[in-house]
Amino acid sequence: ETGVTQTPRHLVMGMTNKKSLKCEQHLGHNAMYWYKQSAKKPLELMFVYNFKEQTENNSVPSRFSPECPNSSHLFLHLHTLQPEDSALYLCASSQVTGEGYTFGSGTRLTVV
């Protein structure tokens, strides 16, 4: 495996369900990110982790709970989501500031 891998690619969940998104990077990067991409809106930064420590929480509702057990893995735990949370959730990683991100293919989430 190379690059940034996200699983699952597609997820449909009810508003009372609990699910988790997984991201794994094989690039030796030390920072990982969660972004939300909704139709006709800019990419929204949700969380930033630098060397496993959360360095930014961009006013994300508590129904989204991130976890970063090590520099290679990032999770997004979901519970009691709303239909408006349906979006493409993108994970990214980077080595050092200024070099840009490498994105995964995303998880297409639909909340019903």
Partner 1 sequence: GQQLNQSPQSMFIQEGEDVSMNCTSSSIFNTWLWYKQDPGEGPVLLIALYKAGELTSNGRLTAQFGITRKDSFLNISASIPSDVGIYFCAGQAGTYKYIFGTGTRLKVLA
Among positions 47-86, residues that touch partner 1 (CB under 8 A) are: 48, 50, 55-56
Using alpha carbons, list the distances in angstroms from residue 21 to 9, 27, 84, 99. 9, 19, 17, 25
Residues 23 to 52 in contact with partner 1, rule: CB under 8 A = 31, 33, 40-43, 45, 48, 50
Q: Which stretch binds partner 1 (CB under 8 A): 12-20, 61-69, 76-84, 96-104?
A: 96-104
C-alpha distance from residue 38 to each of 2, 22, 24, 87, 94 (Å): 26, 19, 22, 5, 22
Classify the phi-psi angles of 40: left when phi > 0, otherwise alpha if psi is within -120 to 50, otherwise beta: left
Copy the structure tokens of residue 56.
């930014």
CB of 1 to partner 1, least distance (A): 15
Nearer to partner 1, 52 or 108 (CB): 108
Binding site for partner 1 (CB under 8 A): 4, 6, 31, 33, 40-43, 45, 48, 50, 55-56, 90, 92, 94, 97-106, 108
